[in-house]
Amino acid sequence: MEQKSLFSVISPIMVGPSSSHTAGAVRLGLMARNIYNHEFTKVKFVLYNSFATTGFGHGTDKGLLAGVLGYSVDDSGIKNIFDTVSGVDYSYEYREDISRHPNSVDIIFDDKMTICGDSVGAGEIRINNINGFTANIDGSYHSLILMYKDRPGMISKVSDIIQKQDINIASLHCDRSSKGGTASMYLALDIPVGEDVVEKVRQIKDVFFVTNVRKLK
């Protein structure tokens, strides 16, 4: 059993009213922002199930928007975010889908990237899909996410670059649309890599997307 911190019981410091529906929503937004890692002018949130039905009374809509704009979970500005936000076209859609987790959301940036995640309780989150590729990211590790054309040797090329930095890979997850099709790779790292490493990975032939994601606080 992995030992837990006492602060998992007497924290986090957050804006209320719900750790799953408010703090979890902010963290999902923050994680999505980190993954997309680009300036954006448009963002759409599709809320599912309990997020859709009770999210209104819990400020889930405000939390998600605050997260993608980089607010932390304890920022008192979240309450009035609709009055202060500018320069971003944001919208919400509400759906029911029993195949999805009760507290689930799709976050779509600039109609270019769709990030799906769940708020799994006590403010903990999980990103489970990025642009149709399965993922399993809970924000507890620094990580590197890339998309590329599936071909032999990609894992070793990437891990070689990381190994040369003497950085330990805690876990590795790959997925692909089809043999030779589009593929994704997710690496959880014990310490974050620098931009030079990201650049080296980006220069690997057939890699078309790389993002360096810092772990959530």
Partner 1 sequence: MAILSFADLVNECTKQNKSIYEIAQEQESILLEDTIDVVRLRVLEDLLAMKEAVKNGLHSTEKSISGWCGDDCVKLPQRFNKKGALFGKTFEKIITYALATAEENLRMGRIAACPTAGSCGIVPSVIIAVSEEEKILEAEQINGLLTAGFIGLLISNKVQLAGAVAGCQAECGVASAMAAGALCQMLGGNTSQIIQASSLALKNILGLTCDPVCGLVEVPCIKRNPFLAVHAVTAAELALCGVESKIPMDEIVDTLKITGQLMSPLLKETSLGGLAKTKTAQELEKKLFNKKV
Which positions touch partner 1 (CB under 8 A)?
1, 3-19, 22-23, 50, 53-54, 56-59, 62, 74, 76, 78-79, 121-123
- Taking the least distance from each CB to partner 1, the nearer of 74 and 150 is 74
- Taking the least distance from each CB to partner 1, the nearer of 134 and 140 is 140
Least separation in angstroms between CB 121 and partner 1: 5
- Taking the least distance from each CB to partner 1, the nearer of 59 and 147 is 59
Give the H/E segment covering residue 165. none
Least separation in angstroms between CB 9 and partner 1: 4
CA distance 110 to 43: 6
- Taking the least distance from each CB to partner 1, the nearer of 12 and 192 is 12
CA distance 106 to 104: 7
| Structural contact between residues 140 and 125, judged by C-beta atoms closer than 8 angstroms | no
Least separation in angstroms between CB 199 and partner 1: 30
Least separation in angstroms between CB 160 and partner 1: 29
Backbone angles phi, psi at 96, to 5 degrees: -115, 130
Query: Which runs of consecutive H residues, i.e. helices, occur in 69-153?
Result: 81-84
Q: What is the CB neighbour count within 10 angstroms for residue 88?
A: 13
Least separation in angstroms between CB 200 and partner 1: 30
Backbone angles phi, psi at 121, to 5 degrees: 120, 145
- Taking the least distance from each CB to partner 1, the nearer of 117 and 123 is 123
- Taking the least distance from each CB to partner 1, the nearer of 202 and 215 is 215
| Structural contact between residues 147 and 208, judged by C-beta atoms closer than 8 angstroms | yes
Least separation in angstroms between CB 118 and partner 1: 13
CA distance 135 to 129: 5
- Sheet of 89-95: strands edge to edge? 89-95, 42-48, 103-109, 113-121, 124-130, 133-137
CA distance 123 to 141: 16
